Structure 1
């Protein structure tokens, strides 16, 4: 996951794509709905869980059934944004490895470290009054080290551990490193990105974490390249029309599967086409969805905070001797979001942003050159 979507296309001045900010925020909240099932786990397995009884199921059924794919949407957005903001700068040498690494570290690590410590403490409290940990079982020293190194999804793990949603961030670290190397190849970055997509296809679904990350990140980057070329050839309006037609056609094809979801179609066409269409709309109408851009600002904090908050809710309601059946109640879900969203806003303002400023202005980073965008 990335931060605010700022940057420029071709020679235009820096703009913010509120359309992609909003999409990323919606994706983060989709994962929260997908993880609502956690409240019905005993240990690492659901017990007596009835999917259709979850709050607002009739309206939100797709989020409960397929919300996990929002992570792959994150990867597509990240790929699109990184090829937009950084590819040319890396290729030309304007963005060096040190500053790029500090930017990524400052964006991802402070909140990861905070939530890792919080989940470790909460799991200790939870295990003291229950026969198991809450959902994710591998909360030992070995997996703590993997998490400290942001490596809990590199294939070294024995299973899910600590604040497990951070697996996607762990994969993104690998993707950032590969992205930087590929961009050093200059104009050859596009065929190399296509090869990375092919590698992802071969790895998925056997190694679905890294496989889906490779596929979706670099296909998002390719979608950016295609959109830019269309803008050069046909201008902003026709590019927007073409991207919308492709996106709508892709989703129409998916709907043709009715009750089945074709993950390959969604990841290879629906997601990148949707990201390109929304980006084209944001470029054609600057400021579009400005009022909802804040949802994207809190996407990283809401993504990392929702699991520790779930442990808190489970602990409190267990202590009050409520059955887990209470989590089928709509009012309790609304209460959860009433807590999560202000927490995420506060965390973004008073933890994420100050930590980024401090690290990016520290001795870790060299003096920045004008024109190097670091807000992703």
Structure 2
């Protein structure tokens, strides 16, 4: 069963919401593996947490293009995005300050204005773009994508008969940029130029937008979700076994992202197709959707929580069983903390800020 191209597909795709939880969980496991000695299999799989960021950027482009309303005012779009991400970001940034002090560190106070305005990702120094709460660097990239989105969506709609050509041009530009960096600069700089750099990562966002527009125009993924998921796992296993490693002994993130990105898009396409077709899949379960709704809070809150706990056990010799038990406990605690952040800050603050912006817009129109 497929939805006709001229029919209105559902605005909310629950399977994609659920997938956000698994992506956020992969990031949490990655950061747990950096603090605790975990079994080798988990440690190797934890590297997928880096690739999960590519999934988030791609999914963000998809969702924004999917939900975009023709003729929507850019100011309204910006205000909705601000209401969505800033309150939780500011709250966790504030909570991170005592955690940093507890862990014996010193907050990079000069970075605070940049962190709160989502501009810290543009500063090459790791102390600045990871300041206060490391994962928030990606919000700086997202803010850049949001700034360009109204223009990007207009171009994509104008050229919607040429979506494949736009996608090919985007991929070619990403490949050219990656090759230029890999062959010109040392691998110690790849992380900033090809992992953190919003000018590079916007390619993933744009491809997500184009995929959403293709599905809105009637294209459907002919494969079930499990096929690209299994393929992604197999390709990652092959990378672990055969891929060259960088000077730090890890698979270069650009290599992992490039190899797995097609499968990430295939997962998004399959999950969206299943939802549009009305298929009842495990990803549409109420529990997974609720966890997906809390994925942004989980992404933000877990590092301060892990850091605070690790500071309390630093210097103690823990055996492998205890390390694993602590990691599992912290994963569960992170989910619990994310729920609290979601119900106490994220949802109510977003609702109130959106109401405020609507009132302000109405008042401006009245006095205009």
Quickly name the TM-score band, shorter chain normalised.
0.7 to 0.9
Q: Residue 187 of structure 1 aligns with which residue?
A: 158
Which of 333, 344, 354 is matched with 1:350 structurally?
344
Q: Residue 27 of structure 1 aligns with which residue?
A: 23
Listed one character per residue, the Cα deviations across residues 23-62 of structure 1 (whole Å, up to 9, x for unaligned) are 111000100111114426xxxxxxxxxxxx41x543x355
2:271 is aligned with 1:303? no
Q: Residue 130 of structure 1 aligns with which residue?
A: none
- Structure 1 residues 249 and 64 mapped into 2: Cα distance closer, same or farther (>3 Å)? closer
Q: Residue 186 of structure 2 aligns with which residue?
A: none
Which of 331, 334, 357 is matched with 2:328 structurally?
334
Listed one character per residue, the Cα deviations across residues 310-359 of structure 1 (whole Å, up to 9, x for unaligned) are 122023324xx633667962211122123211211121112100000000
Distance 1:125 1:253 in 2: 41
Q: Residue 65 of structure 1 aligns with which residue?
A: 47
Q: Residue 18 of structure 1 aligns with which residue?
A: 14
Q: More helix per residue: 1 or 2?
A: 2
Q: Residue 74 of structure 1 aligns with which residue?
A: 56
Residues 164-183 of structure 1 mapped to structure 2, 5 A cutoff: 164-183=134-153
User: Displacement of 1:243 after TM fit?
Assistant: 7.1
Which of 114, 121, 127 is matched with 1:153 structurally?
121
**Are the equivalent residues in 2 in contact too, given 1:247–1:274 (CA < 8 A)?**
yes
User: Displacement of 1:201 after TM fit?
Assistant: 3.6
Query: What is the RMSD computed on CA atoms of the aligned residues?
Result: 3.1
Distance 1:305 1:264 in 2: 24
3-state SS in 1 of match to 2:7: coil
Structure 1 residue runs of 5 or longer lacking an equivalent are 1-7, 41-52, 128-132, 232-238, 368-376
When normalised by structure 2's length, the TM-score is 0.77
2:316 is aligned with 1:316? no
**Are the equivalent residues in 1 in contact too, given 2:236–2:256 (CA < 8 A)?**
no
**Are the equivalent residues in 1 in contact too, given 2:10–2:276 (CA < 8 A)?**
no
User: Displacement of 1:14 after TM fit?
Assistant: 3.6
3-state SS in 2 of match to 1:150: coil
The range that moved more, 104-113 or 17-26, is: 17-26
Listed one character per residue, the Cα deviations across residues 48-78 of structure 1 (whole Å, up to 9, x for unaligned) are xxxxx41x543x3553233211111111111
- Structure 1 residues 74 and 363 mapped into 2: Cα distance closer, same or farther (>3 Å)? closer
Structure 2 residue runs of 5 or longer lacking an equivalent are 182-189, 244-250, 363-368
Distance 1:9 1:122 in 2: 51
**Are the equivalent residues in 2 in contact too, given 1:19–1:278 (CA < 8 A)?**
yes
Distance 1:180 1:193 in 2: 18
Distance 1:306 1:274 in 2: 25
Which of 354, 357, 367 is matched with 1:360 structurally?
354
Distance 1:177 1:118 in 2: 27
2:99 is aligned with 1:122? yes
Q: Residue 46 of structure 1 aligns with which residue?
A: none
Distance 2:5 2:340 in 1: 31
2:190 is aligned with 1:222? no
**Are the equivalent residues in 2 in contact too, given 1:18–1:287 (CA < 8 A)?**
no
**Are the equivalent residues in 1 in contact too, given 2:235–2:260 (CA < 8 A)?**
no
**Are the equivalent residues in 1 in contact too, given 2:5–2:217 (CA < 8 A)?**
no
User: Displacement of 1:84 after TM fit?
Assistant: 0.9
Listed one character per residue, the Cα deviations across residues 7-26 of structure 1 (whole Å, up to 9, x for unaligned) are x9853264432211111110
